[in-house]
Amino acid sequence: MLKVWTREVLSEYVRTKLDGYRLIVVSNREPFQHVRRNGRIECVQPAGGMTAALDPVMRACSGLWIAHGSGDADRAAVDAFDHVSVPEQNPAYTLRRVWLSKQEEEKYYAGLANQGLWPLCHVAFTKPVFEPGHWKTYRSVNQRFADAVLEEAAGQPAFVFIQDYHFALLPRMLREASSNLVVAQFWHIPWPNREVFRAFPWGEELLDGLLANDLLGFHLPHHCRNFLETVDATLEARVDITSGEVCRGGHSSLVRPFPIGIDFDDHSEIAESQSVSDYMERWCRDLKLDGHLLGVGIDRLDYTKGIPERLRYLDRFFELNPKYRGKLLFIQIAVPSRSTLPAYRQLEAEVESLTAKINLRWGNAFWQPVMLLKQHYSQPEMIALHRLADFCVVASLHDGMNLVAKEFVASRVDEDGVLVLSKFAGAARELKDAVMINPFSIEEGARAYLEALTMHPDERRRRMLKMREMVDQNNVFRWAGKFLSDLGKIDFPEFEAPQFAGGRQSHPRVSPLRRLAAAV
């Protein structure tokens, strides 16, 4: 099957089909930060996650990205309009930064978003916190971003593409302020079932905000169904679960699954670069691999990722398979995340304790089975570690997608290596040739490690080839293209056409996006 969506195809698609519309992306996290290092300002790209997936789309499409400016030198890098062109070396789009106070960050981001919505939506494993003051600040920050979008759109036709759970109220704020906007949102995390969602104290207001979108996307069909059933049980609205449409207050919203991908070609090209080869040599030297087998995990230090669980698999593995003692090394990169929150500090202490326990139980003067690395590494460094691994484990307890699994597959240009993958990660729906596990079962995890290490080379290659084909086809450009083409199937009313200088009118709302549907 030939791949249709590439960077070039998407760029041309947007250029010709969104003619007359400005593309505005909104997210909490920014795709580039400016930081002070060694007396100078540097532009850096945060690793992984949503921004890493969207950056190649924005490079292909141009436009404007609005995000919270969190780098310690961000203010020094922007112009009088809080704009900066990114990437620094070869600018492709404009970043508009929004400034938040420490109190706003604490209540909106650390509070409502990550102590409330994050655990609620992951049905996970720590009690959500719902503080009225957090909700008040969440609402005010959403309004701050709405003001920035409206200022940038300046009354002209624009497609606003909102990212994630930080901005559930933003669509309604935009809808009420302007009729010249097409508003869509992608919810990057799971959506809980309707009984779990009932715990959220401001559920009706949050759902009403999301239903102001013309199109709302989730990774998986069952997340869409959970959302539609939640709306049906909570609001006065006409919900068609079969067609994925909600009608409320004279406005229709489409709800669709769009599993996100990565830039496979770019990732594979980096994996074959001299830089990655150099880092592979450095890892071998620093880790003293010397013929050792290698297992790896690369994650944010988050309680949804199953980091303690994979360490318990390893403990049981050595207990059941003594011949591997002294032969297998497991590297866990655990990038610090939200470390001001109690649940994350508790997790970090648990991971450190388990690492010490396993090393004490099985290690000796010449070999320690686990190396815990709590720091950020560059993309080439992580790809190099993927290239060296006999297996990579993704043990998510609940995950919308988990792009680490796809990044490991894209890294394996040698068509080798084994992916051990939780069946509760969204990526499991596509990467069916991984070794699947129930992450809550220590026995399954231990058996999966053994299967990965004893799998015949021909079988490893067969599985990896199939997974690479899947990640290649379902790349991030296809994700963006399918999102835009589904948006184009909506029957929008025409814009009020404001006058440009010289009396020229803007394009009517119905024209460019309806051409999207005809093109696909």
Output DSSP code: residue 506: P
pLDDT recorded at residue 99: 97
pLDDT score for 376:
86
Confidence of residue 434 (pLDDT cuts 50, 70, 90): very high
Is 3's pLDDT higher than 70? Answer: no
Of residues 231 and 55, more confidence is placed in 231
Q: Is the pLDDT of residue 401 over 50?
A: yes
43 bridge partner residues = 34
SS (HEC) of 453-486: HHCCHHHHHHHHHHHHHHHHHCCHHHHHHHHHHH
Confidence of residue 506 (pLDDT cuts 50, 70, 90): very low
- Output the six-digit token pair for 65: 């990205």
Domain range 273-473, CATH class: alpha beta
Shortest CA distance to 516 belongs to which of 173, 215, 188? 215
Count of all residues that appear for the chain in the document: 520
Which among 386, 161, 197 has a CA at the least distance from the CA of 280?
A: 386
Q: Confidence class of residue 479 from pLDDT cuts 50, 70 and 90?
A: very high
**Is it the case that residue 1 has pLDDT exceeding 60?**
no
Residues 6+ away with beta carbon under 8 Å from 425 = 394, 396, 399, 401, 402, 405
Residue 291 pLDDT greater than 90, yes or no? no
Query: Residue 504: pLDDT above 70?
Result: no
Q: What does the mean pLDDT of the chain come to?
A: 91
> Is residue 323 over pLDDT 80?
yes
How far is CA 247 from its chain centroid? 29
Helix or strand run (H / E) with residue 183? strand 181-186
Say which residue the tokens 């995000």 belong to. Answer: 67
Checking if the pLDDT of 254 tops 60, the result is yes
296's enclosing H/E stretch is strand 293-300
Q: Other CB atoms closer than 10 Å to residue 176's CB: what's the count?
A: 10
**Residue 515: predicted pLDDT:** 47
Using DSSP's 3-state secondary structure scheme, residue 246 falls into strand
What angle separates helix 476-487 from helix 510-519, to the nearest 10 degrees? Answer: 120
Contact 348, 339 (CB under 8 A): yes
Structure letter (DSSP) for residue 367: B
Tokens 């062109």, residue located = 85
CA 123 to CA 190: how far, in whole Å?
9
The DSSP output letter for 220 is S
Bigger pLDDT: 205 vs 61:
205
Whether 492 has a pLDDT exceeding 70, the answer reads no
Confidence of residue 494 (pLDDT cuts 50, 70, 90): low
- Return the SS3 of 227: helix
pLDDT top residue among 40 and 497: 40
pTM of the model: 0.90
pLDDT of residue 332: 97
Contact criterion met (CB below 8 Å) for 362 and 318: yes
Could you confirm whether domain 7-100+142-261+475-519 is CATH 3.40.190.10? no
DSSP H/E element including 98: strand 93-98
Torsion of CA 121, 127, 133, 136, to 10 degrees: 10
Spell 220-235 as b/e; 16+ CB within 10 A means b: beebbbbbbbbbeebb
Is the pLDDT at 2 greater than 70? The verdict is no
55-105 pLDDT, tens digit per residue, is 888 988 888 999 999 999 999 999 999 999 999 888 999 999 999 999 999
pLDDT exceeds 80 at position 407? yes
Residue 21 has pLDDT above 90, yes or no: no
Tokens 């909104």, residue? 26
Q: How many CB atoms lie within 10 A of CB 107?
A: 23
Phi and psi based region of residue 332 (left: phi greater than 0; alpha: psi -120 to 50; beta: remaining):
beta
At 52 the pLDDT is 78
| Range 9-31 average pLDDT | 85
Residues 6+ apart with CB under 8 A from 112: 130, 131, 134, 135, 137, 138
Which regions of the chain carry the CATH code 3.40.50.2000?
7-100+142-261+475-519, 273-473
pLDDT, greater one: 490 or 166: 166
pLDDT given at position 267 = 95
In percent, the amount of the chain with pLDDT more than 70 equals 93
Confidence of residue 113 (pLDDT cuts 50, 70, 90): very high
